Amino acid sequence: MGKEIINHLGKIEISEEVISTIAGATAVECYGLVGMASRKITDGVADLLRRENLARGVVVTINNNEVVIDLYIIVGYGVKISEVAASVMERVRYTTEKLTGLNVSQVNVNVKGVRVLE
């Protein structure tokens, strides 16, 4: 569905796919995050998504004027997961609000796997 913003110049429609791409691209820039994971885990194996599929590791829900973002990530081995998750939450919230002008009420991080950093 997306979010529609109306101002004196006209109408702006921001799709959930756009918000997903912004959130996914922002998340992979964070230290300790190896990549985005597919939301659908089969056989208990977390698939690492390529750069063009970043939005598939993100679920966006828009209720009234609030955006809720769920991220599915894979972290690097040896990093403190709570610190990586907190960094991802803060950065995704800030960047999404800055680029879209929408209020992000929640950023939920779901760690789906750990990979050894090479």
Q: Which domains are present in the chain?
A: 2-115 (3.30.70.1350)
Reply yes or no on whether the pLDDT at 50 is more than 70.
no
| % residues pLDDT > 70 (the chain) | 84
Q: What mean pLDDT is predicted for residues 57-85?
A: 93
pLDDT at position 5 is 85
**Residue 92 CB contacts under 8 Å (≥ 6 apart), including other chains:** 23, 26, 27, 69, 71, 104, 107
When pLDDT is cut at 50, 70 and 90, the band that residue 57 belongs to is confident
Q: Are 117 and 76 in contact (CB under 8 A)?
A: yes
61 strand-pairing partners: 68
Q: What mean pLDDT is predicted for residues 73-102?
A: 95
pTM: 0.85
Q: Are 72 and 48 in contact (CB under 8 A)?
A: no
